């Protein structure tokens, strides 16, 4: 089973914790790309982790506005933590029927680790004395 078929036929997957819902439909047509790992959750996880490292805290209030037709009734969201935004992307991809939760959770975890490594190895402070030399 792939895509939303797993939700519709959850009662025959051998797991008693996943009841089927034959009437369930995703909010969008399932795209024709791989489930694992989630690209959207990878991007959201790396961006939000990089911002938290840059600002020195995960706690930051910010607004996001979407132009996606599926959310036009309520296009704006306010978050109080960067990580809450990343979690919302994980949930959205699952609710849209695009990915299984594992694909999104793994993507978020992996991208946070990559962001941390990149932040500490490449996003280094600029030496102010080097800046002065460039102005000559």
Render pLDDT for 6-56 as a digit per residue (tens, 0 to 9): 677 777 777 788 788 888 777 777 777 778 899 999 999 999 999 999 999
Indicate the number of domains in the chain. Answer: 2
Mark whether 7 and 39 lie in a shared domain: no
Mark whether 41 and 13 lie in a shared domain: no
Q: Is the pLDDT of residue 81 over 50?
A: yes
pLDDT of res. 66: 81
Residue that wins the pLDDT comparison between 70 and 1? 70
Mark whether 56 and 22 lie in a shared domain: no
For tokens 């939000």, the residue is 48
Q: Is the pLDDT of residue 75 over 80?
A: no
Q: Which pTM was predicted?
A: 0.72
pLDDT of res. 111: 97
Within a domain: residue 134? no
Mark whether 12 and 60 lie in a shared domain: no
Mark whether 50 and 103 lie in a shared domain: yes
Burial environment of residue 136 by CB neighbours within 10 A (0 to 12, 13 to 18, 19 or more): exposed
> Collapsing DSSP states into helix, strand and coil, what is residue 54?
helix
For tokens 């793994």, the residue is 106
Mark whether 55 and 75 lie in a shared domain: yes
Q: Domain range holding 4?
A: 1-26
Percent of the chain with pLDDT over 90: 46
DSSP 8-state code for residue 56: T
pLDDT of res. 133: 56
How is residue 131 written in tokens?
A: 């800046």
């Amino acid at each position: 089973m792939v895509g939303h078929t797993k939700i519709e036929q959850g009662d025959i997957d051998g797991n008693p914790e996943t009841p089927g819902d034959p009437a369930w439909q995703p909010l969008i047509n399932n795209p024709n790309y791989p489930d694992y790992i989630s690209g959207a959750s990878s991007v959201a996880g790396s961006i939000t982790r990089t911002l938290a490292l840059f600002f020195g805290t995960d706690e930051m209030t910010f607004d996001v506005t979407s132009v996606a037709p599926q959310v036009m009734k309520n296009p704006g969201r306010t978050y109080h933590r960067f990580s809450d935004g990343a979690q919302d992307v994980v949930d959205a991809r699952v609710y849209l029927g695009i990915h299984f939760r594992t694909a999104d959770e793994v993507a978020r975890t992996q991208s946070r680790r990559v962001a941390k490594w990149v932040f500490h190895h490449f996003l280094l402070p600029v030496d102010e004395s080097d800046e002065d030399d460039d102005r000559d």
